[in-house]
A and B are shown apart, each in its own frame.
Chain A
Amino acid sequence: MFRYTWFTVLREIGVWILALAFLLPFYLLIANAFKPDDELYTTSTLAWPTAPTLNNFANVLSAQGNSNVTLGLRNSLIITAGTTCGLVLLGALTGYVISRSTRRWSRWAYYLFLVAIVMPTQLGAVPLYVGARTLGLTGSPWGMIVLYTGMLLPLAIFLYAGFLRQLGIEYEEAAAIDGAGSLQIFVRIVFPLVAPATGTVAILAGLIVWNDFFTALIFLGGSENQTLPVSMYYFIGALVSKWNSIFAVVIISMLPILAFYLFAQKRFIQGFSGGLKG
């Protein structure tokens, strides 16, 4: 029934035409990012540059102050990596305890995390901002890592707990019979076994933190620790219709995540289709 026929060939060609139309924005992005200033206003926006230049990229990378994109890139890397480590550590530990405990409180804790996943950040952001300002934590990368970890921890715990419930406890029982202690069982048996869940948590959380703009703008905006989306926002805010420079910064902001995506696309897609299902 599901054979490859002439009708399938037509369908395949049809979807490819759709895909090329769908990807047209990327063509425009690349074509215009390499245009020198004079070509930007004299040639068609749809045309490929006749004298491609890297000047726009050089301008972006040398910007200073609030629009310092290189600094933003570094900060984004530090904050994303820090948050991912925090989430893997606390998420695995908490997810493990609530998935293995049979007590009533662990069930309540599970619901506590479940509700927190859908709660929007906007309402909590106001008092958190006031609190952070009072403690002098606004603009601090450590404060931001703690904040992101707390914000995304419910999702991480949910993913770990879901994975662990399907895993079964035979390995842990075997280790306990061999005389391993609780901590040893967690570190040497459980943590390596949940590696697929760790992958999903790292990809989903890494993506959310890397691309986050709202929280980063509120807590880091204007400081020297602001992340890439915020620097990009300030960089572009200072330009009016200089689309070649705007697109250069857009490309620079996309490259790290795009490279990662092309390298691990299967895991990204699995993370989204399976991870969010629960």
Chain B
Amino acid sequence: MLTFGRGWWSLPGVLLVLAIHYVATSIGGAFAFTDWTGIGSFEWVGSRNFTTILEDPTMRGALVNTLLLAATSVVLVNVLGLSLALALNRTLRSRYVLRMLFFMPVVLSPLAISYIWKFIFDYDGPVNAALAAVGLGEWKRAWLADPDLALWAVLLVIVWQTTGIAMVIYTAGLAAVPAEFEEAAALDGAGLWQRFWHVVLPCIRPAVAISTTLGLINGLRIFDQIIALTAGGPAGATETLATKVFQQAFSLGNFGQGAALALLLTMIILVVAIIQQRVTNGTARES
């Protein structure tokens, strides 16, 4: 039996990943139970940092906002992405150009994209100008300064930028659905919706699993968009776990509190990943 490569070649890679992912994350996890400020000594404080998260209104709000943004964005992005993929599947002559255009925002920096949208939502910006032009002047407002609306404005930016990812994942999934399946169903008298629901959707279940997991994990990590659009404001209404981690650990020097928020974020993401693994393995066994 021939063997290829030498085991020790993987040593630098394994050590680097162990150090940067596992060791650092474990130390960070331990920080979560201390009151360390980044300098000098610290005390173990048990679960106090976690009680603070639940008691402090903006931290609790950040947790709620994070879950809300992740859940709503994943639904919208996948519905829109799948619709686009279906609309651009097969027949359209200009489908390659259209796909290229819808995918374009994905490759750009979320920070740069968000500055464009900050202008769009500005009081003197295009949204209000358009509203005034069609006689809806009384709807004018500073969209990002309104605590009830700011989070939904952020959601819109995330959906606009990431729909392209879902679209290309579904496009790849749809390409693997044999045209004969759909033709056979059509011959049996299945309508457009029935064909989609009973033929196409079961075939692209792996794509659904990948796209939703990816969307959830990215949605839970939202940081750049908030920093550029609202900086967490107005009055903490758009804070997420990631922006709170940054504020607590790096702006205020509350390393312990920041680590506790980061640990919470990590646990949520790992739970999502484990559930996805279970669901995918389950469907694999079924078929």
Contacts and interface: CB of A to CB of B under 8 A. Distances in A.
A154 B249 CA distance: 26
B232 to A, nearest CB: 14
Interface string B82-115: 0010011011111000111111101111111101
Interface in B202-238: 206, 210, 214, 217, 220-221, 223-224, 227-228
B250 interface: yes
A138 B197 CA distance: 53
Given A214-B242, A268-B103, A94 B93 contact: no
Interface in B145-201: 160, 165, 168-169, 171-172, 179, 182-183, 186
B92 A8 contact: yes
B61 interface: no
A169 B263 CA distance: 42
Nearest to B13: A94
B119 A32 contact: yes
A11 B101 contact: no
Given A153-B17, A250-B116, A268-B107, A273 B259 contact: no
Contact of B3 (A100, A211, A272): A100
A250 B20 contact: no
Contacts of A269: 99-100, 103, 168
Given A97-B9, A257-B107, A246 B21 contact: no
Contacts of A123: 24-25, 28-29, 259, 262-263, 265-266
What size tier do the contact residues of chain A reach?
35 or more
B14 interface: yes
Contacts of A46: 126, 129-130
Contact of A151 (B20, B117, B224, B242): B20
B14 A247 contact: no
B10 A128 contact: no
Nearest to B124: A45
B5 A214 contact: no
Contact of A8 (B16, B91, B120): B91
Contact of B90 (A2, A22, A23, A128): A2
Interface residues of B, number: 96
Interface string B42-63: 0000000000000000000000
B110 A211 contact: yes
A22 B92 contact: no
B261 to A, nearest CB: 8
Interface in A3-59: 3-4, 8, 11-12, 14-16, 19, 22-23, 25-26, 28-29, 32, 44-46
Contacts of A243: 119, 122
Given A94-B14, A126-B262, A150-B20, A213 B110 contact: yes
A265 B101 CA distance: 10
Nearest to A243: B119
Interface string B5-32: 1110110111011111110110111010
B14 A214 contact: no
Contact of A126 (B110, B241, B249): B249
Most chain-A Cβ atoms within 10 A of its Cβ — which of B2, B5, B93?
A: B5
A116 B22 contact: yes
A122 interface: yes
B91 A276 contact: no
B144 interface: no
Closest 4 CB pairs of A and B: A150-B20, A94-B13, A124-B24, A123-B262
17 contacts: A1-B182, A19-B98, A97-B6, A116-B17, A120-B262, A122-B241, A125-B245, A126-B262, A169-B4, A190-B4, A211-B108, A211-B111, A250-B112, A254-B108, A272-B106, A276-B210, A277-B169
Given A129-B249, A151-B21, A211-B110, 11 more contacts: A2-B179, A105-B7, A119-B21, A123-B262, A124-B20, A124-B25, A172-B4, A185-B4, A247-B116, A247-B119, A269-B103
